[in-house]
Amino acid sequence: MVANLGYGSLIIAFLVSIYGAGAAFYGARKNLPSLVDSARNAMLLTFPLLTVTALSIVYLLVNAHYEFPFVDEVISNSMPFYLRITALWGGQAGSLIFWSWLMSAFAAAVTLRKWNRDREFLPWVILVSLVTLAFFLILSIFVENPFVRLWQSPIGNITTSVLQPSGTTLYIPSNGNGMNPLLRHLGMIIHPPMLYLGFVSFVIPYAFAMAALITGRTDDRWIRLTRRWTLVAWLFLSLGLILGARWAYDVLGWGGFWNWDPVETASLMPWLTGTAFLHSVMIQEKRGMLKQWNMVLIILTYDLVIFGTFLTRSGVLSSVHAFAQSAIGPLFFAFIGLTFVASLSLLSRRWNDLRSDAEMTSIYSREGLFLGNNLLFIAVFIFCFWGVIFPVLTEALGIIGQKIPALAGIFNGQKITVGPNFYNSTTVYGFAGLALLMGITPVSAWRNSTAKTVGKSLIIPFALSLLIIPVLLLGGMRSIPAMIGFWICTFTIIVTVNEFWRAARARHRAQKENLLLAFWHLASKNRRRYGGYIIHLGAILMGLGIIGYYFFQTETQGTIPQGGQISLGQYTVTFDSLSVFNTSDNRNVARAVISAYKNGQFVGELYPRRDYYNESQQTVTIPGVRSTLEDDLYIILADWQPLSTTGATFKVYHNPLINWLWIGGFVFIIGMLWAAWPVKELEMVALQNSVPIQKQAG
């Protein structure tokens, strides 16, 4: 009954979105406002319809209706209530519905805004949003339908179908697989929705960009309208990435947080192009430049969002996140190809309208440095993209070798992968360059900066930052790349903090405010600028953690008897005891008690554990971690002897500075919230008025 309701409203939502897209298109073409209004209502209607669908799935999950294979996959009898709700995005079919539901929520929110000044955009924004939504609904209805049930024929064969095949009875398993235990972690409960929110909200700026291209209203109105959407999309995407990294560190038990798994890389790619977009739209707003480039970036970001969803959901690439191989692949590929080609042809039609109002005069002007930032982000994106598609490419190119025997040696169709080292050794230059630019750009001005003016402002911070090198040398550091990394971080921190200090002191003198108040007013007045600087500081702090981890992580492993010890650097750990017990939620837990000593001093007890989930027959390794600002001691209970709990195998990691990754992430989020915080309408008007003045300047 509930399933029928959910399935019915899913079908209706699909039909409504097809109708809405058609009505928007026809209404705009024939100039029929009533039809466009009807399309608008259709777009609004998809949200309640999909809410019903999503809620009915949650109902099936909470009440453990195991006759639905989707439920069976992610729910088991012992799973608590809150996990059953989050199981909505624990499997493929449910997560696609969740995606569509978020999409419809965002689309509805956009529809409800005041459109008076921008009515010509409306039908096209509706069209783009509803076509995207319809595509995901097609996947849910025809390929990954959560509402199919299990049916048993009299001879015991089990088939799946939405409707009852004749001569069969409903088959209801008594218990399900349960959600993958690795996913039962707070980070994993929030991480997918955040990532999806980021993905989905990038559709909105894209829809406006397409509307601008179609209508020919190619000034920067679309950018101003979608500025906050872009920031929000970026906020969620960044949050999703940080939470994913934290989850990996807490649960995956290999001492790290990022392994360039194709799925991780796939969610990083739209972030890279989106970040480039976020910076380059500022050049368009201030100087009327890079209009074509901004279009390219948003088109790329949109298709990378779809590509990211595709990679996570199709299993084309073997990865930790390997989901089922399914028929989704070709459909995604067709949709990405179609939207990419259609967007680019629209862009080429308007190419000449999107010429720059001005030309760049100096590499050291702010716009010149922003362009550099864009190129570096794109470079990092290209490295990632290359690494992700390389295995697919080398396999596919085998066809060349088959057709042309002379090239068979090169294009032999053998699948070749590149490991994490490829990504590390390429992207490091891009990230280092970006970190350095963060330190240079704040002192540059629009248009007229030269090497001389920028150099003059940087000479003191540069000299100060060099002091870090002798400090590191005295501390015993000998790694040159690490020293360069730490130097860049120091330099950028000095410049950024100085920006705050300089401006706050000037205000303090001019307005007779105390420094803190001056600082507060300053940052509130120009949220994007100072929010941006806070984000930069966060990124640099994260950089400290990443440098510490990549250059200075050490590890050891060993099997020791009770009372035995393992040493790693300054640390010694002793194995005190091990207990094995069953929990009420059907886990078998082995928990070791470890005493940690640093330079002979007792610093605390750690409890690495292994949880064996009986229902899904899987083990999750939870590390015991002692975390300080200086370093993490990270211990994994790798194995233990079942008969005599006297011996156990441990892996011990020493991760210097890694906490700064999470602290930096926190600062990063605060900066984003600061920048994206809703400002009063008054300020919006002021910004809009400033447009003609900017034009004159160019």
One of 422, 551, 597, 607 touching another protein (CB under 8 A): 422
Question: Which C-beta is closer to another protein: that of 103 or that of 148?
Answer: 148
**Running DSSP on this structure, what letter comes out for residue 171?**
-
- The token pair that represents 364 in the structure block: 């050291």
Residue 574 sits in the site that holds another protein (CB under 8 A): no
Stretches 5-13, 17-25, 176-184, 228-236: which one binds another protein (CB under 8 A)? 176-184
For another protein, the closer of residues 22 and 398 by Cβ is 398
Residue 216 binding another protein, by CB under 8 A: no
Query: Per rule CB under 8 A, is residue 391 in the interface with another protein?
Result: yes
Contacts of 684 (CB under 8 A, 6+ apart): none
Q: Which of 55, 138, 382, 397 touches another protein by CB under 8 A?
A: 382
Count of residues near another protein by CB under 8 A: 66
Asked whether the beta carbons of 527 and 629 are under 8 A apart, the reply is: no
- Among 264-272, 279-287, 293-301, 618-626, the segment contacting another protein (CB under 8 A): 618-626
> Contact between 220 and another protein (CB under 8 A)?
no
The answer to the question of residue 445 lying near another protein (CB under 8 A) is: no
Q: Report the distance separating Cα 557 and Cα 567, nearest Å.
A: 9
Which is nearer to another protein, 20 or 255 (by Cβ)?
255
Separation CA 551–CA 324 (nearest Å): 36
Of 64, 65, 72, 632, which lies in the binding site for another protein, with binding defined by CB under 8 A? 72
Cα three-residue angle 502-457-277, rounded to 5 degrees = 85
Alpha-carbon 199 to chain mean position: 8
Distance in Å, CB of 104 to another protein, minimum: 27
Is residue 315 near another protein by the rule CB under 8 A? yes
Q: First-to-last CA distance in the chain? A: 64
Q: What are phi and psi of 583, to 5 degrees?
A: -110, 170
Residue from the set 240, 255, 288, 623 that interacts with another protein by CB under 8 A: 255
Map residues 351-370 to x or -, x wherever contact with another protein holds by CB under 8 A.
--------xxxxx----x--
Residue 323 contacts another protein per CB under 8 A:
yes
Lay out the site mask for another protein across 137-156 (x = CB under 8 A, - = otherwise). --------------------
Closest among 678, 585, 574 to 624, alpha carbons compared: 574
Smallest gap from residue 420 Cβ to another protein (A) = 9
DSSP 3-state assignment of 165?
coil
What is the DSSP secondary structure assignment for residue 88, as one 8-state letter? G
Angle 379-385-388 from CA coordinates, rounded to 5° = 145
With beta carbons less than 8 A apart as the criterion, state whether 576 and 587 touch.
no
Spatial CB neighbours of 63, under 8 Å, sequence gap ≥ 6: none
Please tell me the distance from the alpha carbon of residue 45 to that of residue 464, in angstroms, as a whole number.
60
Using the rule CB under 8 A, which residue among 333, 386, 411, 552 binds another protein? 386
- DSSP code of residue 454: H
Give yes or no for residue 157 binding another protein (CB under 8 A): no
As a whole number of Å, the CA-based R_g of the chain is: 28
Q: At what angle do helices 451-466 and 480-511 cross, to 10 degrees?
A: 110
Give the residue with the Cβ less far from another protein, 568 or 638: 638
Label residues 102-113 b or e (16+ Cβ within 10 Å = b): bbbbbbbebbee
Give the one residue of 157, 159, 425, 565 binding another protein; rule: CB under 8 A: 425
φ, ψ for residue 131 (rounded to 5)?
A: -65, -45
Q: Which of residues 77-116 bind another protein (CB under 8 A)?
A: 91-92
* Closest approach of another protein to the CB of residue 4, in Å: 22
Site residues for another protein per CB under 8 A: 69, 72-73, 91-92, 177, 180, 182-183, 252-255, 259, 315, 318, 320-325, 359-363, 368, 371-372, 375-376, 379, 382-383, 386, 390-391, 414-419, 421-422, 425-426, 429, 555, 557-559, 610, 612, 616, 618-621, 638-639, 641, 647, 649, 651
